[in-house]
Amino acid sequence: MVKKAPRRTAERILEVTLDLFNRFGEPNVSTTLISAELGISPGNLYYHYPAKDELINALFDRFEKSLNDLLNAGDDVRDVEDAWFFMHTLFERIWEFRFLYRDLNDLLSKNHRLETHFQAVLKNKTRAVRALLAGMVRGGAVSIDAREIEPTAHSMVVVLTYWLSYEYVRDPRHALEPGNAQQALMRGAHHTLHLLAPYLEPGQRTHLLTLAGAYRNDT
């Protein structure tokens, strides 16, 4: 049997760990369970990741990089169509690493690195939403008093950050299962963008309602 390269083993460990964290929640997944799922010895796991926090940090690094790359696209949003695509893609990225949001308060309370880095994530989200609002103003899709931009941006970031927690509370046994992803993501995008409804030009407001119409009965 050909041995896998250490780099591939480390990659596989992260893939399986992410799946287990997403399925069961990080606090409910031990390194023993991860080893068993991989079919490797605990010693092999510890060789690559000597502590559970190192697994969490490695996954968070991937999430943070991919999220920041996506947030830069907020500068290109000009109308509801752009905003809907941006928001749905953003929720997809959050869903991919949903264990971070499901167990966010617990993770921050015991991992100082995540505590500081997640503050940077919030700042980057807020910057991206401000850019989105500014672009929609320039594109004529939104009319908003400059004094309302900051609180509106923060409100949208709150929904972005805690939407999956809300979904989980609604249905703890099923909400975060893969089969429910599309409905959860569409509801999240709809409710985040609905905060803009009072400021949208009439045609843009109608378009937002049309985009969200198929999911309104599930909210």
- Cα 17 from Cα 33, distance rounded (Å): 9
> What does the pLDDT profile of the chain (219 residues) look like in tens digits?
445 455 688 999 999 999 999 999 999 999 999 999 999 999 999 999 999 999 999 999 999 999 999 999 999 999 999 999 999 999 999 999 999 998 888 899 999 999 999 999 999 999 999 999 999 999 999 999 999 999 999 999 999 999 988 888 888 888 878 888 888 888 899 999 999 999 999 999 999 999 887 565 444
- Tell me the Cα Rg of the chain: 19
Contact residues for 53 (Cβ-Cβ < 8 A; gap 6+): 111, 113
pTM value?
A: 0.87
Q: Could you give the residue ranges of the DSSP H alpha helices within 141-180?
A: 146-170
